[in-house]
Structure 1
């Protein structure tokens, strides 16, 4: 009988184990004269909230124009006036002059050079924002409903997200030693210890995502998270506990059927006093049993898929010493973008701004970055970043509403009622030229595609439909395209796979409709689906409900 081949750890696992709790070889390379870090160091760098990139538009053979992307860790996307203004200044001083709102309610700065990376991170921390844990194989930014208090529940969920984020931060002092000269500028609620009691010396097998929703409000795409929590309230409007969802995730690989997007499963209900133990124990299961050889199979969704929910639950109970209660029934989820003017529970108002593809910038058509700075600084508004990469400006007095609208009008910034649904419900990832994983265009391509699609919708009288349209430059799915009504996923050079049939509420996966479609043909491939939906739908049936009811036909049959 032949000997069984010994399984080995992936190279990245070895790098993590040898990093001395996220220090080496990064610490030795920060101050050298190179324009970039070594391959081993960039894997550690991610844990510190930074990705090494190069501008692929400027590549010449092996010559690369290296730069860095920095991502903040901002639980529930909540920023103060001063924090937003500080990041806005940093974008001009050290980055490319733009900010980008991510689909995890954080910001990204692009274009920082290595010589200024340490100074940039210090400036960000001086604003009391950390980048530690915004990337890497740990729990990423904890998401939660972005709206300020409307009925007294939103702030309580956000406060919990803030507390949970601090609890789940890595304990290593490496971040403070390397970037902040050992000074602990950002102060979490738990004292930093040298050991990693939650993550261990190897950290997690892959990134891990946590999102917290309110009943009905799925603005965080709950079912796409590794752990999704739905806050439930008592008669006094206090959080009494949470429904727990596990095993969601979007990433896949076109050529590997063993990879796939997955929605989370309903696990059960837990009281508030026990929920942190539940979250930590779930993370511990993934830490101890997640795949560490093949990173394409390393997300927790694959562990639950392989084990089954029953085995996963038994392992959880063995760690907790108690069972979760049954999952409580909830009303249907919906997606509220919180755009336009909305009143807060204290009588003030907040304004939701649609930020196309999350990019805050000035250009020839409008000066969004300048307008936002003027409004935030003049009126002292709070700033909330949303999972649909929009911005909410909070705490606006009634008498200031018209003044704020006038400022946006002055700079050519369109408000909610001036934009089409197709634009408001669309999202694209950055993709080319900066993302190293990008196969195709996304952020630079989707605006024209959406406007062409918007023309078709208007032609068919479907302009009032709330179609979620999401594009990614690769199959990793950062904009969560696999739950969209229409998903365009990068497949090969300037070609995409079309997915149809999810929903804006994020409660259903879509299905592959057509593969290897050239960018110029995307809208015309979708048009027959819209035409058939227009003629055959029943009552107020949505686009995706219709296609899930009748079943997607072969593209040729639909087009005939």
Structure 2
């Protein structure tokens, strides 16, 4: 029997000691906030603030210059909001826009593929202000980073049907149910008095989870949340226009380490079917099984997919059944046939309208071609409904009354929010990477727009411009850009160089295979020209790019990632 890592005598990682001695995530954050000699956090607090939804970053474009001037790096924080299901009101958006404009270096809002937004470039002295603004408008950033269940995703746009509304409500329930119980967040950021009663974490435990944990709720046949990349997934089973239960899938994840064959991407596996009344109990049992059996001696081997590999799926399943006092029923029939967002107008269940706006890489800002930030703010001042953020870094203006549709459309057109874009561009994605991400090895967000233009030209040359290819770029191998669920995926290796992966599929349940290693953007385009040319000539009727390169054996299909990904 595999040892329970939590109870074993293996050496724990530094992060485990930090959590153990943090006094339920408080550390000495309060003291650091008073320290005006640095804009950064020191020691353990650098890690602990992540549990509160923030990362300490610095502007890497300025590192060398500031070092030469004998100045500390330009430290600032990135804050990620907790927004299960991605719904934010127009009034809330106005407050967030105002803070971003007045109190961040970059004055932008970044939509993430975790169906929420984050703000980059917040000075330490302004952190309490942003947390208190969030609290005042009914939001927070608790548990959007580090070793907890993070922002829960769901199939976008609850106003599309009653089932979509149910899906959204379950995302909220699961998010709230799995939140940390510690009062540290309220004490530190909201100035609430410390309660003398002892802290207790009945689900997450005193040392929380071994690694980050991601959850989705999804309605087939549309896989807009990339469920196969997540630790815990609830696939809605529908009868008579109501959700009657969920198929449960676990263990997805995409992060790897270059050259480390003990790391691999993995697609979520089926556990079984449950009725609705068992949902929270099963969620708790999956999380606590990962809590107690996950590897706390090696963070690269600590995610749920590795726990399943160490335990075996059957043992993991039995442990979940024992803890939740259920027996999984056989998986109910389901399938997926689409991914991504449908850009443009559509009607909702109440006869109102929604407008899905494409946001390149999720970055909300104004430039010479598009006044995206100003346009969304203008819409927010007149729109009575909500904004809905998608898992593909786009934004939906929803619940638009028919009598207000023309007004919203005029604003969107005048600010350049409605534009003709290629299917290739609409289905592209990039992580943030440089200049703010400390893990970045190569450009992602800042290179993708021009790179897509080059690929669009190739597509046009071979009369494939109306076709879709899922193309994604990640600045490092940690998986934030979900490149390892793309038909064409680039993963940064060093400045200007990437590993090129091909062979994923349209619906997101096949991992691509490495095609070329450590090559430049120019070299990548040469290879893509060759591949797209051959695709245009030799494809079968309506054959997708990823399916073509597998059928023609340009790369081998990754069937079992543990064995196939590296070999």
Q: TM-score, structure 1 length as denominator?
A: 0.94
- 1:149 aligns with one of 159, 173, 177: 159
1:198 aligns with 2:197: no
Contact 1:147/1:338 (CA < 8 Å) preserved in 2? no
Aligned 1:531-550 pairs, distance under 5 A: 531-550=533-552
Partners of 1:291 and 1:74 in 2: CA distance: 29
CA deviations 1:77-105 (Å, max 9, x no partner) are: 01111111111111112122110000000
Shift in CA distance, 151/193, structure 1 to aligned 2, threshold 3 Å: farther
Shift in CA distance, 196/466, structure 1 to aligned 2, threshold 3 Å: same
Kindly state the Cα deviation for residue 336 of structure 1 after the two structures are TM-superposed.
4.3
1:84 maps to: 93
- 1:162 aligns with one of 151, 161, 172: 172
Partners of 1:492 and 1:436 in 2: CA distance: 13
Partners of 1:154 and 1:183 in 2: CA distance: 39
Contact 1:171/1:193 (CA < 8 Å) preserved in 2? no
- 2:266 aligns with one of 247, 262, 278: 262
Partners of 1:19 and 1:66 in 2: CA distance: 23
State the SS of the aligned residue for 2:34: coil
Contact 1:172/1:193 (CA < 8 Å) preserved in 2? no
Aligned 1:49-60 pairs, distance under 5 A: 49-60=53-64
Kindly state the Cα deviation for residue 519 of structure 1 after the two structures are TM-superposed.
2.2
Kindly state the Cα deviation for residue 6 of structure 1 after the two structures are TM-superposed.
5.8
State the SS of the aligned residue for 2:160: coil
1:301 aligns with 2:305: yes
Partners of 1:550 and 1:488 in 2: CA distance: 21
Partners of 1:18 and 1:136 in 2: CA distance: 16
Tell which deviates more after alignment, 240-249 or 520-529: 520-529
- What is the aligned length? 540
Contact 2:502/2:555 (CA < 8 Å) preserved in 1? no
Kindly state the Cα deviation for residue 72 of structure 1 after the two structures are TM-superposed.
0.2
Partners of 2:279 and 2:303 in 1: CA distance: 22
2:147 maps to: 137
1:19 aligns with 2:22: yes
Q: TM-score, structure 2 length as denominator?
A: 0.93
Kindly state the Cα deviation for residue 408 of structure 1 after the two structures are TM-superposed.
2.2
Partners of 2:331 and 2:181 in 1: CA distance: 32
Tell which deviates more after alignment, 371-380 or 259-268: 371-380
Kindly state the Cα deviation for residue 220 of structure 1 after the two structures are TM-superposed.
0.6
Partners of 2:406 and 2:89 in 1: CA distance: 22
Partners of 1:251 and 1:126 in 2: CA distance: 36
2:134 maps to: 124
Partners of 1:293 and 1:335 in 2: CA distance: 37
Aligned 1:476-555 pairs, distance under 5 A: 476-552=478-554
Contact 1:148/1:344 (CA < 8 Å) preserved in 2? no
Contact 1:148/1:394 (CA < 8 Å) preserved in 2? no
Kindly state the Cα deviation for residue 150 of structure 1 after the two structures are TM-superposed.
2.1
Contact 2:223/2:336 (CA < 8 Å) preserved in 1? no
Aligned 1:443-458 pairs, distance under 5 A: 443-458=445-460
Partners of 1:364 and 1:142 in 2: CA distance: 35
Partners of 1:201 and 1:393 in 2: CA distance: 40
State the SS of the aligned residue for 1:393: strand
Partners of 2:243 and 2:516 in 1: CA distance: 45
CA deviations 1:289-316 (Å, max 9, x no partner) are: 1011111111011111222211211222
Shift in CA distance, 333/538, structure 1 to aligned 2, threshold 3 Å: closer
1:10 aligns with 2:13: yes
Partners of 1:97 and 1:493 in 2: CA distance: 26
Aligned 1:172-187 pairs, distance under 5 A: 172-182=182-192
CA deviations 1:40-68 (Å, max 9, x no partner) are: 10110000000000000111337311011
Kindly state the Cα deviation for residue 202 of structure 1 after the two structures are TM-superposed.
0.3
Tell which deviates more after alignment, 224-233 or 385-394: 224-233
Partners of 1:404 and 1:72 in 2: CA distance: 26
Partners of 1:348 and 1:148 in 2: CA distance: 13
Kindly state the Cα deviation for residue 466 of structure 1 after the two structures are TM-superposed.
1.4
State the SS of the aligned residue for 1:149: helix
CA deviations 1:110-144 (Å, max 9, x no partner) are: 11111111112111221111100011100000000
Shift in CA distance, 71/239, structure 1 to aligned 2, threshold 3 Å: same
Kindly state the Cα deviation for residue 193 of structure 1 after the two structures are TM-superposed.
7.9
1:358 maps to: 362
Contact 1:232/1:239 (CA < 8 Å) preserved in 2? yes
User: Could you list the runs of 5+ residues in structure 1 that have no partner in the other structure?
Assistant: 185-191, 555-560
Partners of 2:74 and 2:367 in 1: CA distance: 24
1:68 aligns with 2:77: yes
Aligned-residue CA RMSD in angstroms? Answer: 1.6
CA deviations 1:348-400 (Å, max 9, x no partner) are: 01000000000000112221000011112112231000000000000112233
Tell which deviates more after alignment, 348-357 or 538-547: 538-547
